[in-house]
Chain A
Amino acid sequence: MIPELGHFALIVALALALAQVAIAFTGARTGNSALLATVRPAAIGQFVFVAGAFAALAYCFVTSDFSVLNVTQHSNSKLPVNYRFAATWGSHEGSILLWALMLATWTFLVAAVSRSLPERFVARVLGVMGLVSVGFLLFILITSNPFERLLPAAAEGEDLNPLLQDPGMVIHPPMLYMGYVGFSVAFAFSIAALLEGRLDAAWARWSRPWTLAAWCFLTVGICLGSAWAYYTLGWGGWWFWDPVENASFMPWLVGTALIHSLAVTEKRGTFRSWTVLLAIMAFSLSLVGTFLVRSGVLTSVHAFATDPRRGIFILLFLVLVVGGSLTLFAWRAPRVGLGSGFGAVSRESMLLANNVLLAVAMSAVLLGTLYPLFLDALGMGKISVGSPYFDAVFVPLMAPAIFLMAVGPVASWKRAALPELWVRLRWALGVSVVAALAVPFMRGKVTPMIVFGIWLGFWVITATCAQVIQRLHGSPQPTLGGKIAAQSRSWYGMVLAHLGIAIFILGVTLVKGYETERDLRMSPGDRVTLAGFDFAFKGTKQLPGPNYSVVQGEFEVSRGGKPERVLYPEKRTYPVSGQTMTWAAIDTGVTRDIYVSLGEPVGDGAWGVRVYHKPFVDWIWAGCFVMALGGLFALSDRRYRLRKQVTEAATPAAASASA
């Protein structure tokens, strides 16, 4: 009964989405207030039914209803309840329903929260989002129905892939999808603006919080995916430039350019066409990513089971949405006209450089990801493009952008003087160079890449500190507390986000430069030393688990003779799928991770063992979280809390000072 209700809810949602589209565009065109008043309820109704369908599927999973094919294929009654719930999105059908739910959620938020925006504009926005919803709901109903029945029902399920039986599975996909899909809002705002022929600072101000929110979610989503891969795959890697990873990274790169571009459009009224194009590109890349992951054109560990019919549908949808929006852009954007001018050295020009560099970096990732496909399609053979390529190409492209990231905030709008910039930043530069040379020397290993990475990370930190000091110093408030309170959250958001990137860069540089590992065979009683830590292998024992059986090893870790902790790496065998997974034991610390995993038993109680020391690896994810935190700060800036803005006697001068 519930599965049928869920299926029915999807059909109703599709009908409501169609209504939403029709009413929205008709209402916007004619200005009919009755129609315009119905758009929001239609959108909210659509959300209710998509949410209902999702709840129905989740219910089937949690109650282990094996008369539903999807549940049988991807779950098991012995699975702990949190993983039974997460298994709802553990398949193509379930995860595309999650996509639709996220889209419906953003639609709901736009419908509910944007009361102070012009009605016709909001109608167009909801109309565009409705079109996307129609596409996805049709896709689900025609090619990927998660409610398909299996009759007679199976007695037991085939179990969720053991790799996915992890807390990461519970949180990474929802976060990621909230981000991906969230760019549809910025996209819809852009299309609505193009349709209306109005692209101005007000429009940018409206778009910014939505884009920031999506960006925060995507940052966290990618970060979680990386951390999950790190502790899950057993050899300490955290980014593989896998096509699916790239599919999430490209929207992030463009999204980052977008938030900066929106800032310029809001403050200075320029970059309007750029901003619109970036908004279209960000969401287009989300859609392209969806295509790549589910169509079978690329091989990836993350790819879902494929079906050419699905690939064709998504491609058609892609052509309609992206082709349509780029056509609209080519037609309408030239009329928008240029905004105010700026000098060759100015904050605008640096932000323009930032836009260009991020777009080029994204194109490079796209080129590398799709190149094997290009060659194969042209019949020119098969090649592989992996980490060695991306690492070689991406870093040189991003480095200038990061360098500028520290300079931009210090430069004035419209016209900045190089000598002045030099005076403001020379100490910061000096300190960063010293650090770049000192740190590698102290650690005992100096390579050009390490020096460069440390310099870049420190440069961002020192230049940002210089910026903060100068800003507070120049603030008219009498006390330090007053000065700090006077700066906008938006500005603090920027500072935090930039520092987050610096932390990330330092983490990557230090771990890649200084990580060490030992790979050896150990019998109970054997010891091994790595990076000052002693590991004593105490042997293994067998244990039962909820839906797996365990062989658990015991390693006593000590430093200088003093025992510090005990690590318990495991080998888990999942009876239903017959797979054996390795669970590494990781001791996490601010300055390093220690990582122990068991390999294969080699007889007589001896095992193959891998021990890693990874300095500062957690700074990678800490940096990402700080970035996202910065985004959150920016999002909570007072200018977006509109009611407050109106009641405060906010003067335009005060508002523009918080640039």
Chain B
Amino acid sequence: MRRLAFVIPLVVFIALAIFLAVGLTRDPREVPSPFIGKPAPSFKLERLQEPTMAFGPAEMKGKVWMLNVWASWCVACREEHPVLVEFSKRNAVPIVGLNWKDTRESGLKWLDRFGNPYALSVFDGDGRVGIDYGVYGAPETFVIDRDGVIRYKQIGAITPEALDEKILPLLKSLGA
């Protein structure tokens, strides 16, 4: 019995090592969204290109759509943008852009320069709507279903792999 006690430290260490090994495959900085499966928070923001017109997620009820958070100062957004532009040409789902913590001028210039994949963009200069959606960096993308429920959040740029492996199958299953 006493002999067994001497093995305990080894056993504890092995368990620890296994966890550390698994930990190597995880990203401690990635914060999963608590909104998956919950309704997309409502908002009313001015459109980027038509400041007199407003937009809110209620307008998209009945459709599957994507909300993409972007900004002109965001380097990763520039990397993601060509993928989005390509994807938008397929006209699979409408993509709404959320111009986050930016100035209208820079945002508009950026779209002119790099292309506009968005059905429309809304302007969230002070980032309040971003906070409501739990946005903590750009780019981030939400996939929202017909009932206005958030089904998926892409943290960081949408890569072609992420598009093929995660987003497209999801859109299909939602009946897009």
Please say whether the chains A and B touch (CB closer than 8 A): yes
Q: Report the Cα distance A273→B20, complex, angstroms.
A: 27
| Contact of A308 with B24 in the complex, beta carbons under 8 Å | yes
- Given A284-B13, A297-B24, A315-B21, are A333 and B6 also a contact pair (CB < 8 Å)? yes
Binary contact readout A278-322 vs B (1 if CB under 8 angstroms, 0 otherwise): 001100100010010001111100000000100110010011001
In B22-79, the 8 Å CB interface with A consists of 22-24, 26, 28-32
B14 within 8 A of A: yes
A334 within 8 A of B: yes
| Contact of A311 with B24 in the complex, beta carbons under 8 Å | yes
| Contact of B13 with A326 in the complex, beta carbons under 8 Å | yes
Q: Could you tell me the dominant secondary structure of chain B's interface residues?
A: helix
Q: Which of A296, A297, A326, A334 contacts B9 (CB 8 A)?
A: A326
Question: What residues of B have a CB within 8 angstroms of the CB of A334 in the complex?
Answer: 2-3, 6
B7 within 8 A of A: yes
| Contact of B6 with A330 in the complex, beta carbons under 8 Å | yes
Q: Which residue of B lies closest to A303 (CB)?
A: B28
Among B7, B22, B24, B31, residue most surrounded by chain A Cβ atoms (within 10 Å): B24
Question: What residues of B have a CB within 8 angstroms of the CB of A323 in the complex?
Answer: 10, 13-14, 17
A69 within 8 A of B: no
Q: Report the Cα distance A295→B2, complex, angstroms.
A: 37
| Contact of A295 with B28 in the complex, beta carbons under 8 Å | no
Q: Report the Cα distance A374→B31, complex, angstroms.
A: 15
Binary contact readout A311-350 vs B (1 if CB under 8 angstroms, 0 otherwise): 1100100110011001101100110000000000000000
Q: Which residue of A lies closest to B7 (CB)?
A: A330
User: Which of A169-177, A375-383, A438-446 lies on the face that meets chain B?
Assistant: A375-383
- Given A277-B9, A327-B10, are A377 and B3 also a contact pair (CB < 8 Å)? no
| Contact of B19 with A315 in the complex, beta carbons under 8 Å | no
- Given A323-B14, A382-B31, are A377 and B6 also a contact pair (CB < 8 Å)? no
| Contact of B17 with A326 in the complex, beta carbons under 8 Å | no
Tally inter-chain residue pairs, CB-CB below 8 A: 72
In A598-630, the 8 Å CB interface with B consists of none
Question: What residues of B have a CB within 8 angstroms of the CB of A297 in the complex?
Answer: 20, 23-24, 26, 28
Q: Report the Cα distance A372→B22, complex, angstroms.
A: 12
A22 within 8 A of B: no
A566 within 8 A of B: no
- Shortest distance from the beta carbon of B169 to any chain A beta carbon, whole Å: 20
Question: What residues of A have a CB within 8 angstroms of the CB of B14 in the complex?
Answer: 323
Question: What residues of A have a CB within 8 angstroms of the CB of B31 in the complex?
Answer: 382
Q: Which residue of B lies closest to A377 (CB)?
A: B22
- Given A315-B17, A323-B17, are A329 and B23 also a contact pair (CB < 8 Å)? no
Q: Which of A312, A329, A374 contacts B24 (CB 8 A)?
A: A312
A370 within 8 A of B: yes
- Shortest distance from the beta carbon of A159 to any chain B beta carbon, whole Å: 21
Question: What residues of B have a CB within 8 angstroms of the CB of A298 in the complex?
Answer: 28
Binary contact readout A360-398 vs B (1 if CB under 8 angstroms, 0 otherwise): 000000000010111011000110000000000000000
Question: What residues of A have a CB within 8 angstroms of the CB of B26 in the complex?
Answer: 297, 373, 376-377
Q: Which residue of A lies closest to B22 (CB)?
A: A377
Q: Report the Cα distance A370→B18, complex, angstroms.
A: 12
Q: Report the Cα distance A39→B145, complex, angstroms.
A: 71
Q: Report the Cα distance A295→B24, complex, angstroms.
A: 7
| Contact of B24 with A382 in the complex, beta carbons under 8 Å | no
- Given A319-B17, A374-B19, are A330 and B32 also a contact pair (CB < 8 Å)? no
Binary contact readout A456-488 vs B (1 if CB under 8 angstroms, 0 otherwise): 000000000000000000000000000000000
Binary contact readout B93-129 vs A (1 if CB under 8 angstroms, 0 otherwise): 0000000000000000000000000000000000000
Question: What residues of B have a CB within 8 angstroms of the CB of A319 in the complex?
Answer: 17
| Contact of A372 with B13 in the complex, beta carbons under 8 Å | no
| Contact of B17 with A376 in the complex, beta carbons under 8 Å | no
- Given A273-B6, A297-B23, are A376 and B13 also a contact pair (CB < 8 Å)? no
Question: What residues of B have a CB within 8 angstroms of the CB of A326 in the complex?
Answer: 9-10, 13
Question: What residues of B have a CB within 8 angstroms of the CB of A288 in the complex?
Answer: 16, 20
Question: What residues of B have a CB within 8 angstroms of the CB of A299 in the complex?
Answer: 28-29
Q: Report the Cα distance A323→B13, complex, angstroms.
A: 7
Q: Which residue of A lies closest to B34 (CB)?
A: A381
Question: What residues of A have a CB within 8 angstroms of the CB of B19 in the complex?
Answer: 370, 373-374, 377
Q: Report the Cα distance A296→B3, complex, angstroms.
A: 37
Question: What residues of A have a CB within 8 angstroms of the CB of B29 in the complex?
Answer: 299
- Shortest distance from the beta carbon of A305 to any chain B beta carbon, whole Å: 13
| Contact of B32 with A381 in the complex, beta carbons under 8 Å | yes
Q: Report the Cα distance A311→B32, complex, angstroms.
A: 23
Q: Which residue of A lies closest to B23 (CB)?
A: A297
Question: What residues of B have a CB within 8 angstroms of the CB of A373 in the complex?
Answer: 19-20, 23, 26, 28
| Contact of B23 with A377 in the complex, beta carbons under 8 Å | yes
Question: What residues of A have a CB within 8 angstroms of the CB of B20 in the complex?
Answer: 288, 291, 295, 297, 315, 318, 373
In B106-158, the 8 Å CB interface with A consists of none
Question: What residues of B have a CB within 8 angstroms of the CB of A281 in the complex?
Answer: 9
Question: What residues of B have a CB within 8 angstroms of the CB of A315 in the complex?
Answer: 17, 20-21, 24
Q: Which residue of A lies closest to B27 (CB)?
A: A296
- Shortest distance from the beta carbon of A289 to any chain B beta carbon, whole Å: 12
Q: Which residue of B lies closest to A299 (CB)?
A: B28
- Given A273-B6, A329-B10, are A382 and B32 also a contact pair (CB < 8 Å)? yes
- Shortest distance from the beta carbon of A172 to any chain B beta carbon, whole Å: 25
Q: Report the Cα distance A281→B16, complex, angstroms.
A: 13
Q: Report the Cα distance A29→B19, complex, angstroms.
A: 37
| Contact of A372 with B28 in the complex, beta carbons under 8 Å | yes
Question: What residues of A have a CB within 8 angstroms of the CB of B24 in the complex?
Answer: 295-297, 308, 311-312, 315
Question: What residues of A have a CB within 8 angstroms of the CB of B17 in the complex?
Answer: 315, 318-319, 322-323
- Shortest distance from the beta carbon of A447 to any chain B beta carbon, whole Å: 35
| Contact of A296 with B28 in the complex, beta carbons under 8 Å | yes
- Shortest distance from the beta carbon of A412 to any chain B beta carbon, whole Å: 28
Question: What residues of B have a CB within 8 angstroms of the CB of A295 in the complex?
Answer: 20, 23-24
Q: Report the Cα distance A297→B24, complex, angstroms.
A: 6
Question: What residues of A have a CB within 8 angstroms of the CB of B23 in the complex?
Answer: 295, 297, 373, 376-377
Question: What residues of A have a CB within 8 angstroms of the CB of B6 in the complex?
Answer: 273, 329-330, 333-334
Q: Report the Cα distance A329→B14, complex, angstroms.
A: 14
Q: Which residue of B lies closest to A322 (CB)?
A: B13
Q: Report the Cα distance A326→B32, complex, angstroms.
A: 37
Q: Report the Cα distance A376→B26, complex, angstroms.
A: 8
Q: Which residue of A lies closest to B31 (CB)?
A: A382
Q: Report the Cα distance A323→B11, complex, angstroms.
A: 9
Question: What residues of B have a CB within 8 angstroms of the CB of A333 in the complex?
Answer: 6
Question: What residues of B have a CB within 8 angstroms of the CB of A296 in the complex?
Answer: 24, 28
Q: Report the Cα distance A323→B14, complex, angstroms.
A: 7
Q: Report the Cα distance A382→B23, complex, angstroms.
A: 12
Question: What residues of A have a CB within 8 angstroms of the CB of B10 in the complex?
Answer: 323, 326-327, 329-330
Q: Report the Cα distance A326→B13, complex, angstroms.
A: 8
What are 10 A-B pairs with beta-carbon distances under 8 A?
A277-B9, A288-B16, A288-B20, A299-B28, A315-B24, A318-B17, A323-B10, A330-B9, A333-B6, A381-B32
- Top 9 A-B pairs, shortest CB-CB distance: A377-B22, A297-B23, A326-B10, A330-B7, A373-B23, A330-B6, A334-B3, A311-B24, A299-B28
With A295-B20, A377-B19 known, 5 other A-B pairs at CB within 8 A are A291-B20, A297-B24, A326-B9, A373-B26, A376-B23
